[in-house]
Structure 1
């Protein structure tokens, strides 16, 4: 079974104009007749080709998942995918990113999304965790069992209403009405 994958394609403004021109005009009249995306063996770097020009590209993980929808009748939306990656196309002279995860989201409110919105994973030293677990086990073993509850002394009955059951506060036991 083949599944379609969706991603965000982020390109420089000059490349975006060329793509818009290619999509809006007749393909045979445009000098940019082809679009292609080639990836290297690592799957994270590649080349974006438009016409005869080649641009370096990188696949980056987004800090959060973005849902993708499509419509057939302009009123009902159908969810088509969860997008978690972005292909970042750069100009030829720009340096490639050295990280796998894109720091920011797609919109300005998600700037530094990982740092501002998600809990950090604690940096725990495995030796320290093991030592603390041992200390906790030793502390639990040294604890004494709580003393048994003292038995209540028997109180002699005062003989008030010896044969009657205790009264109840519920409404159904009130016979005064």
Structure 2
């Protein structure tokens, strides 16, 4: 079972004059890794986290665009996990409140992809 860790880890700022706004993706990790990455994010420590995507659209026998999610890059405890970048069937708009309490929502970003990190390569091909 995969666990959603963070919404918008990959937020990238668009040009100021762009009508598109911010773009983000959903990151899903196996539970054991999700806890580690969540702790790193809460500590605002992104050191050692790397995400690489194959620029090719598809690879035979692989679900989505293949990639690699690395935890602990540059350390002896480095772990490379296979990942799949998949396009969502539609654009999802994400909203939030300014103060976390009121019912007034503002649009924060558009989500069009999901990055699924797998424990092994066979799971990624399933």
TM-score normalised by the chain length of structure 1:
0.45
TM-score normalised by the chain length of structure 2:
0.60
Query: Which residue does the alignment assign to 1:69?
Result: 95
Query: Which residue does the alignment assign to 2:70?
Result: 49
1:11 positional shift? 0.9
- Which one of the candidate residues 53, 59, 81 is aligned to 2:109? 81
Aligned mates of 2:66, 2:96 — CA distance in 1: 29
Secondary structure of the corresponding residue to residue 73 of structure 1:
coil
Q: How many residues align?
A: 94
In terms of fraction of residues, the more strand-rich structure is 2
Secondary structure of the corresponding residue to residue 20 of structure 1:
helix
Structure 1: gaps of 5 or more residues: 99-177
Q: Deviations over 1:152-177 (max 9, x none)?
A: xxxxxxxxxxxxxxxxxxxxxxxxxx
Aligned mates of 1:95, 1:23 — CA distance in 2: 26
Q: Which has the larger radius of gyration?
A: 1
In terms of fraction of residues, the more helix-rich structure is 1
Aligned mates of 1:41, 1:64 — CA distance in 2: 21
Structure 2: gaps of 5 or more residues: 1-13, 16-20, 58-64, 73-77
1:77 positional shift? 1.5
Query: Which residue does the alignment assign to 1:11?
Result: 29
